[in-house]
Amino acid sequence: MAITIKSSREIELMREAGRLLSLVHDELAKLIRPGLSTKEIDRVCEEIIRSYGCTPNFLHYQGYPASVCVSVNEEVVHGIPKESRIIQEGDIVSLDMGLIYQGYHSDAARTHAVGKISDEAQKLIDVTRQSFYEGIKMARAGMHLHDISNAIAGYVAPYGYGIVKALVGHGIGTRLHEDPQIPNFAQHKRGPKLRPGMTLAIEPMINMGTDEVEWLNDDWTVVSADHSLSAHYENTILITEGEPEILTLGTIP
């Protein structure tokens, strides 16, 4: 499939989908505290999304049973919310979710600290977030897709962290996952040329240890194979004639 170019009308809808999602993220960030079950996060997430007249796009996606992925500590992504999973002081918790507004999808993820966390864990979160910002510096018309990948990889490399290769970013629009795939690790070829009107979900997933991952037997939860901590940061962005636009940026960076 070719990479879709959104019209100005579609861009307006993508902007609104992104803005509303950033509000959900802001609300959930305020909720995070020791003692909270991951299922409670999901309940609140779905309720807020529906209160905006939107639909959670993760719910029932390929059978996924919730509106948000809540991935704790060594869980990389796709953690399924559970009544029995209680987040604790010192945990790091990644929230990944999206919504559909008038047929258009948004998708964003943040990793939060629960109470006081170790300096090492905070550094992992910060480097993962910054790797997105290094990537988006390349997200300009005329640049190539893999300039983004290489910028992310080049920034992370000196830290010795494992950049997850098994999962990648993606185009987004009338579907949650559109072409192209956006790897977060170094690429030899340049990849497709970036053009104004492309909307992309850039989402580095970084392990403190090796890049190797495994799937739990719930068939969803991805964990680091060495059980090291893992962080995730994602925004839906728009390629323009000039500066890239981050569509899902709320008050929680």
CA dist., res. 29 & res. 253, Å (int) = 11
Q: Which of 97, 163, 200, 201 binds Co ion (CB under 5 A)?
A: 201
Please report whether residue 58 would count as binding ligand MF3 according to CB under 6 A. yes
Please report whether residue 52 would count as binding ligand MF3 according to CB under 6 A. no
Spatial neighbors of 50 by CB under 8 A, at least 6 apart, are 56
| Closer of 82 and 123 to ligand MF3 (Cβ) | 82
CA dist., res. 186 & res. 9, Å (int) = 34
| Closer of 106 and 224 to Co ion (Cβ) | 106
Q: Reduced to 3 states, what is the DSSP secondary structure of residue 131?
A: helix
* 23-31, 75-83, 134-142, 203-211 -> range binding Co ion (CB under 5 A): 203-211
Site string for ligand MF3, 187-206 (x = CB under 6 A): --------------x-x---
Give the CA distances from residue 77 to residues 174, 198, 219, 230, 242, in Å, rounded to whole numbers and listed in that order.
23, 25, 12, 9, 32
* 26-34, 38-46, 62-70, 122-130 -> range binding ligand MF3 (CB under 6 A): 62-70
Q: Which DSSP symbol is given to 100?
A: E
Least Å from the CB of residue 177 to Co ion: 7
* 1-9, 38-46, 57-65, 189-197 -> range binding ligand MF3 (CB under 6 A): 57-65
CA dist., res. 238 & res. 14, Å (int) = 9
Q: Which of 91, 107, 178, 245 binds ligand MF3 (CB under 6 A)?
A: 107
Give the CA distances from residue 248 to residues 4, 82, 107, 201, in Å, rounded to whole numbers and listed in that order.
19, 26, 8, 10
Please report whether residue 211 would count as binding Co ion according to CB under 5 A. no
CA dist., res. 130 & res. 124, Å (int) = 10
Least Å from the CB of residue 218 to ligand MF3: 11
**Interface with ligand MF3 by CB under 6 A: which residues?**
58, 61-62, 64, 69, 77-78, 96, 107, 170, 201, 203, 234
